Amino acid sequence: MKHFLLSTILFFTISSVFAQEKIRINWQPTLQDAIEKSKDENKLILVYFTGSDWCGPCINLDKNLFHTEKFRKFSEEHLVLYMADFPRNKDLVSKENRKINKQLSEKYGQSSFPTILLIDNTGTEYGRKNGSYLPEYYFPFFEEMVNQFK
């Protein structure tokens, strides 16, 4: 009986560890990297304005949209990703990126979190979503913007 109980606990522990593994998303480290990749691959840039360590809707969106297999596949094929993060813990973002994120926010009139902005490599805006929606509502928007860009 002890072996059965130990085996059951071990099984659920291992299953839990694998189930919690995050899907890796390829966020570009700097806006300039995103612009260069966008030029090279002829893709739109998705700029995600977030407060990664304090904004509840942002944390939820990150988990339920950005870390899904569906988004990973779609973004790898159609988008270049840049996270314009405004965390309370300033150590999470470099000083240079904080400056660029602030400039982006001012340039595009971003005033709420989360905000998703789709731009080309010249900075032309193709579309935006302010606030948090159900994850399935984002994909028709992404597809429409990508089709407009082509």
Sequence letter at residue 28: Q
Contacts of 51 (CB under 8 A, 6+ apart): 58, 85, 86, 87, 88, 113
| Residue 109 within a domain | yes
| Residue 76 within a domain | yes
Percentages helix, strand, coil for the chain (3-state, rounded to 5) are 55, 20, 30
Q: Tell me the pLDDT tens digit for each residue of 87-126.
A: 999 999 999 999 999 999 999 999 999 999 999 999 999 9
Do 47 and 123 form a contact (C-beta atoms < 8 A)?
Answer: no
The H-assigned helical ranges of 21-68 are 31-41, 56-61
Please determine, for residue 7, whether its predicted confidence score (pLDDT) is greater than 90. no
What stretch of H or E contains 95?
helix 95-107
Question: pLDDT band at residue 150, thresholds of 50, 70 and 90?
Answer: confident
**pLDDT of 117:** 97
Total tally of structural domains belonging to the chain:
1
pTM, two decimal places:
0.85
| Residue 7 within a domain | no
Do 50 and 62 form a contact (C-beta atoms < 8 A)?
Answer: yes
| Residue 139 within a domain | yes
| Residue 82 within a domain | yes
| Residue 130 within a domain | yes
Q: Which domain holds residue 104?
A: 24-149
**pLDDT of 5:** 40
| Residue 16 within a domain | no
Question: pLDDT band at residue 2, thresholds of 50, 70 and 90?
Answer: low
CATH number at residue 61: 3.40.30.10
**Rounded CA separation 131/103 (Å):** 20
| Residue 29 within a domain | yes
